[in-house]
Chain A
Amino acid sequence: TQLLEQSPQFLSIQEGENLTVYCNSSSVFSSLQWYRQEPGEGPVLLVTVVTGGEVKKLKRLTFQFGDARKDSSLHITAAQPGDTGLYLCAGEGYQLIWGAGTKLIIKP
């Protein structure tokens, strides 16, 4: 059974700091998606990574897919309160194996 483990489960930092959250698996994924979910809302797709070693940037967010396509990371530079939310990674087609998420709080 494919599983995605996300760490840390919870992170609270001050505005302006940098942070990295992780999505790990013992299985190979053909692609991974990162979503952000705010309270009371549905997940919103941030990025898809497909190629081992791929790096994608979305403003202050940098996403990396591991060379072996078993793990991914999300790095946020100079975090802002608007980055607060639940960050979820998911993989493998519409059935989407989901991680449990990292709950991120950025304090002003």
Chain B
Amino acid sequence: NAGVMQNPRHLVRRRGQEARLRCSPMKGHSHVYWYRQLPEEGLKFMVYLQKENIIDESGMPKERFSAEFPKEGPSILRIQQVVRGDSAAYFCASSYVQTSGELFFGEGSRLTVL
């Protein structure tokens, strides 16, 4: 998957806890995108970030979800007070420039909320 690194690969949380998912883009890529995939469904866009900036968060729920891409370090998708409906695979992708749709994806982080 072209060097996009996500961790953890699997995360189990109880309802009400916080989940933090990390994404290190491919070397040289400064654009990061987060998507959510429910079982048997396609991916849904959540947020697009560049270093230190959120460019488009139109797909991200306004409550409990936040994302950042600091100057140093990985991008982080944070879900506070998780609920069972947050259980899904969360994928990060990166690109060198703002993409027209050609993305390199990580292997995903699978969140299970008990």
**Chain A 36-71 per-residue mask, 1 if CB under 8 angstroms from chain B, else 0:** 000011111100100000000000000000000000
Binds A, one of B14-22, B39-47, B62-70, B72-80: B39-47
B-side binding surface: helix, strand, loop or mixed? loop
- Cross-chain contact A101 with B42 (CB below 8 angstroms): yes
* Contacts of A8-50 to chain B: CB distance below 8 A: 30-33, 40-45, 48
What total of chain A residues lie within 8 Å of the partner, measured CB to CB?
A: 24
Sorted from nearest, which 6 A-B pairs have the closest CB atoms? A98-B42, A42-B105, A95-B45, A33-B101, A100-B42, A98-B43
Among B41, B101, B105, contact of A44 (Cβ-Cβ < 8 Å): B105
* Contacts of B80-110 to chain A: CB distance below 8 A: 91, 93, 95, 98-108
Can you spell out 23 A-B residue pairs with CB atoms less than 8 angstroms apart? A4-B42, A31-B100, A32-B101, A33-B101, A41-B108, A42-B108, A43-B91, A43-B103, A48-B100, A48-B101, A48-B102, A93-B101, A94-B31, A94-B33, A94-B45, A94-B48, A94-B99, A95-B58, A95-B59, A96-B35, A96-B43, A99-B42, A100-B42
Asked if A74 is an interface residue, CB under 8 A from chain B, the answer is no
Among A4, A31, A41, A99, contact of B101 (Cβ-Cβ < 8 Å): A31
A-side binding surface: helix, strand, loop or mixed? loop
Residue of A nearest to B4 (CB): A42
Asked if A104 is an interface residue, CB under 8 A from chain B, the answer is no
- Cross-chain contact A93 with B99 (CB below 8 angstroms): yes
Among B1, B42, B106, contact of A90 (Cβ-Cβ < 8 Å): B42
In the bound complex, how far is the Cα of B44 from the Cα of A88, in angstroms? 12
- Cross-chain contact B104 with A96 (CB below 8 angstroms): no
Residues of A within 8 A of B48 (CB): 94-95
Asked if B52 is an interface residue, CB under 8 A from chain A, the answer is no
In the bound complex, how far is the Cα of B103 from the Cα of A5, in angstroms? 21
Residues of B within 8 A of A101 (CB): 41-42
